[in-house]
Amino acid sequence: MAAAGPPANATHDQYILLPHDEQHELSSSRRALKYKFAQSEITQNDRSFTARMLWRRYHSWALPALLSLCLVLLTWPATTQTSAFATDGASTRLAARADPPRKDDGFTDVVQWDNYTIFLHGQRVFLHSGEFHTFRLPVPDLWLDIFQKMVAAGLNGVSIYIHMGVTNPAPGVIDFNDWRALQPIFDAAKLAGILVVLRPGPYINAETTAGGIAHWATSLVAGTLRTNASDWTAAYQPYVNGIIDQTVPNEVTSGGPVLAVQVDNEYSQSPITHAEYFANLEKQYRDGGLLVPLTYNDPGEGRNFINGTGAVDIYGLDSYPQGFDCSNPTHWAPVVTNYHQYHIQNNPSEPWYMPEFQGGSFDPWGGPGYDACEVLTGPDFQDVFYKQNWASNVKLISYYMFYGGTSWGGLPFPGVYTSYDYGSSIRESRALSPKFDEVKRQGIFLRSSPEFRKTDWIGDSSTVIPNVNLSNSAAFVTLLKNPDTGTGFYITRQADSTSTSTISFNITLPTSNGTLVLPQTTDGITLNGRQSKVIVTDYSFGAHGSVLYSTASVFFAGTIGSRDVLFLFGDADQSHEAALTLTGNGARVQSSRVQFTTSRSSRGVTAITVLPGSTGLVTLWDSDTQLVFFADTVTAATFWAPAVPSSTPNTIRGFEHYWQFGTNTTVLVGGPYLVRNASFADGGRKLALRGDLNASVLLTVVAPPSVTEVTWNGEEVELRPTTQASGRGFLTGRLTQRAAVKSVQAPKLTGWKFADSLPEVQPGFDDSPWVLANHTTTNITNKPLFGDGRVLYGCDYGFCENNVLWRGHFNGTGSETSVNLTINGGSSFAASVWINDHFIDTVHNGADQINALFPFPNGSVRIGEDNVVTVLQDHMGNDEDSDEKSARGIPGFQLNSGNFTTWKVQGKVGGYLDFPDKVRGIFNEGGLFGERQGWHLPGFDLSSANFTARDLSEGLPSGGAGVGFFVTTFDLKIPSGTDTMMSFVFDGGVGNSGQAYRALLFVNGWKFGKRVANVGPQASFPVPPGILDYNGKNTIAVALWAMNNTAVSPSLELVVDGILDGGVGPIATNNPEWSPR
């Protein structure tokens, strides 16, 4: 039975090849889960799409065939729908049979795959994804903001790490509350219309402490982590069970967003203990009821977990070709040219998947900062390297990171600082970068091009491409071709992908109109340095549109209303050419920079040439059946193509907000900073847009002709007359930024109060409540180096993160002259040492472990009394990979001469078993006295702790080494309907000010910054709404650690980084106040 046809305003993406063979019929209840709407899957749309492709490819002989076909159609059943380009069932089945056999994981066929792509509910999907870690943005109401921005860029997937360490803070404790919850992730993803690849580890790397493995496990587990060791298995299984319980109801099989789950991360399949660990994880997932495919992310071309024990359903490659050195951001490595060959040699029956491809770079302590990382992996990098992946026939890809966020509290591993901006397409403040524009130009093209979802790799310039020739050896081309439609995708770049020179070339290639030399009307195709272009041939757009070739890039192709719409773009300083069949009654643009050429031999195809100097949006052709645009590259990026919810018989339940599965209706919107969503109202007469403005702009809308009104964020837009033909859905107006946006100002940070936060070095301090450090064995890999057998590793006593204090007691005899200590805190850590109340020294040299002799000052040892060596150390996080069991603490101690009687240790209150702040979680607090007292929390009574007035810029009263707490409050009243991005900036933004201090920044109790002033580079700390209370009182605390006897004078200000008129909506705060502890 034929399904109901598409809505009149369905776009090009609805026309998708679907299976049509008897072996794909419903045969089990398992398949019934997938094919609940099976009657609507093999639609007339698919037949007409196939027919159009066959017509375009074989029209020279198709007319006689069509005449014969008409005889068949006269006897076709009356219930069958027809169209001008409909084919008989045999032709459709013939095209479908070209597909290789599909595979599934044996648990569901809602998700299947062949060697080209995955299939979701029977439809091919190019998975275009980006990485986002919700734990690095602990404000659930902002997750929708990130998802909406990803979808607006043309992405249809998001890859999400889940952090075992924050979710499983203690043995057997699984916490999916507050910002650790998974259900708000899934709910926001469904609302935005984005698929989720969940990556819960237990190991995730991610430049986070212990690679995401719970800290307690690094101490309590005797066996080797990430193996089949029984105690490690017992440690992670409750966490994975929790993941399963949260995920199973949210799989795509149940109308949820979860498309796949990754098993662990970046590992080796040998020795066998590794492989059996993977096999155990996979069995646990399947025994728990998980149905979707299990995937893997291989670091480099390691060939791990493709076959054999622990093999996954879909293998993927992890690649960062630019590396992670942002200090020379204009230096490029060449593109990797063997990706396609590697895939064909190792997993040719699966689609080519890159779960992580470089979307930026992390930056180390003392690095150049993330602006440099953005340059290293900027729009030119994306243009060349991402399209090289396309040239390798990659059909599933995720960019790491797309939004990096903040490694607040104790989340970072020692190699990175608080910011995890990553130079991403969406910056840490949530602002869109120029990289976002490039991803959008690519993403909308991919969304608009179903032919690209199924392509054969034909060859490249290093092999032989039949009938293809380049006139210039400095150019390089790869040909991908759709085997069903003949559509060609010629992906071009310079042979030296690192070159900054400009080249020009001609290309000889086959088309359905014969072999052509392109361009035909200008001298050559220009490639600037570090630029890539996709030349298309025999490319379709909309319901009936056909492009013979285009050297201009395709931004959008589809149907809007009753018109087929094509949106081309290219650099304004270059010429561009496209040849297509213009239909309908319409008008051509009259411009000296645009030329139209039609000849008798062109078979109705018109060549359109855009000469250099063309800027802005140019309407090349405007008819009752077609609309063709050209814009320069920058202007194209100001347009958006939001999916408009429009239920059809093909809509899959649960996917109402998803492009391709819930709707194929869209509009084009030009001008705003961001378009978040669009919807129709009043029977399709009104188009309601929601989004953000960073300035007042001209609004351009291409919508169905029924639309006569437009609203922006609920306010009616005054539409203006246009030069376009009326009644065709081309609308213009002006969006004016509200005056309220300009009224936002950051308050001055004044009224600071101060209290000393290092009483531990004062005479008479009582450490009797502290934990006695008397262990003589440890499961941590590196054992103590010297001492008396006692183990002084913080995590063995429950203190696994942030600042930890040690107090070693000895009875003074007068012979004690020094102490030799080896202190381990992770790279770029620091440690200060006192004997009684005398400061000795602070050590810091960038290493993760330092051995030093600390001489006792004259008169500092009290003879015949108890003496105390106090060590304050900075814990920079645990290492990753095989070093998760990091020896943070004091691996070696020797009193010269004499012996320590007792060692005591103190970290955050309660350790990992009983820390009081369950909302902010295990990584928020450390062992500083002020933290233990809760001075950083809103609502603490400063008068109870003898705080006195003292400005932060005055530093510590002693002018020497020590720790002090500075606290102030301020009020914010940010206008509703705005998205204000704010940061706290130390020392005027100077990364390395040379001042020897470290500072912890607390915002309403959340540790949202670690400042190391004599290392840098971070001086600015973005803090999102939800952490900041934008309509209330805010408490700011700074724990200042002066590291030597030179006075320090830090400054701190709150600045507005940007203000947008719009935003995602109300943002809730969850900042619990102080309570007795």
Question: In this predicted structure, what is the pLDDT of residue 91?
Answer: 28
pLDDT at 15 over 50: no
Distance CA 290, CA 282 (A): 10
Distance CA 152, CA 588 (A): 30
3-state secondary structure 509-545: EEECCEEEEECCCCCCEEECCCCCEEEEEEEEECCCE
Question: In this predicted structure, what is the pLDDT of residue 742?
Answer: 87
- Percent of the chain at pLDDT > 90 equals 89
pLDDT band, very low/low/confident/very high, at 647 (cuts 50, 70, 90): confident
Alpha helix ranges (H) inside 717-870:
739-742
The residue-averaged pLDDT of 45-62 equals 40
Spatial neighbors of 674 by CB under 8 A, at least 6 apart, are 148, 149, 152, 432, 640, 691, 692, 1060, 1062
pLDDT at 903 over 80: yes
pLDDT at 29 over 50: no
Q: Pull the structure tokens for residue 510.
A: 């086959």
CA angle 904, 905, 907 (to 5 degrees): 160
* Distance from chain centroid for Cα 232: 30
Task: Kindly list the catalytic residues.
Answer: 266, 356
Q: Output the average pLDDT for the chain.
A: 91
**Residue 945: what are its φ and ψ, rounded to 5°?**
-115, 20
The SS3 of residue 38 is: helix
Q: Pull the structure tokens for residue 1016.
A: 């840098």
pLDDT at 88 over 70: no
pLDDT digits (tens, 9 = 90+) for 685-725: 999 999 999 999 999 999 999 999 999 999 999 998 876 76
Distance CA 93, CA 48 (A): 13
pTM of the model: 0.92
* Distance from chain centroid for Cα 1010: 23
Nearest to 452 by CA among 510, 529, 520, 537: 537
Beta strands in 624-726 (DSSP E): 626-632, 639-640, 668-670, 674-681, 686-692, 697-702, 709-712, 715-716, 719-720
Please give the single-letter amino acid code of residue 826.
G
pLDDT at 525 over 70: yes
pLDDT at 461 over 70: yes
DSSP 555-599: EEEEEETTEEEEEEEE-TTS-EEEEE---SSEEE---TTEEEE--
pLDDT digits (tens, 9 = 90+) for 865-891: 999 999 999 999 999 999 999 999 999
pLDDT digits (tens, 9 = 90+) for 1033-1074: 999 999 999 999 999 999 999 999 999 999 999 999 999 999
Q: Which residue has the higher pLDDT, 196 or 17?
A: 196
pLDDT digits (tens, 9 = 90+) for 773-798: 999 999 999 999 999 999 999 999 99
Q: Beta strand 730-735 with 525-527: parallel, antiparallel or unpaired?
A: unpaired
Distance CA 586, CA 608 (A): 15
The residue-averaged pLDDT of 406-430 equals 98
The SS3 of residue 142 is: helix
Nearest to 531 by CA among 503, 556, 555, 552: 503
Nearest to 689 by CA among 713, 668, 716: 713
Distance CA 278, CA 295 (A): 11
Distance CA 231, CA 613 (A): 68
pLDDT at 54 over 50: no
The residue-averaged pLDDT of 588-597 equals 96
The residue-averaged pLDDT of 932-936 equals 98
Nearest to 923 by CA among 171, 174, 367, 411: 411
Given a contact cutoff of 8 angstroms between Cβ atoms, the answer to whether 606 and 582 are in contact is yes
**Residue 628: what are its φ and ψ, rounded to 5°?**
-125, 125
Q: Cβ of 562: how many Cβ atoms within 10 Å?
A: 17
pLDDT band, very low/low/confident/very high, at 600 (cuts 50, 70, 90): low
Question: In this predicted structure, what is the pLDDT of residue 602?
Answer: 73
**Residue 37: what are its φ and ψ, rounded to 5°?**
-110, 40
Distance CA 132, CA 111 (A): 23
* Distance from chain centroid for Cα 635: 25
Q: Which residue has the higher pLDDT, 723 or 295?
A: 295
pLDDT at 66 over 50: no
pLDDT at 535 over 90: yes
Given a contact cutoff of 8 angstroms between Cβ atoms, the answer to whether 383 and 847 are in contact is no
Length of the chain measured in residues: 1077
Alpha helix ranges (H) inside 123-271:
143-152, 164-167, 183-192, 215-220, 230-247
Alpha helix ranges (H) inside 917-1059:
929-933
Question: In this predicted structure, what is the pLDDT of residue 31?
Answer: 30
User: What distance separates the 2 farthest-apart alpha carbons in the chain?
Assistant: 114
> Tokens 């840098």 sit at which residue?
1016
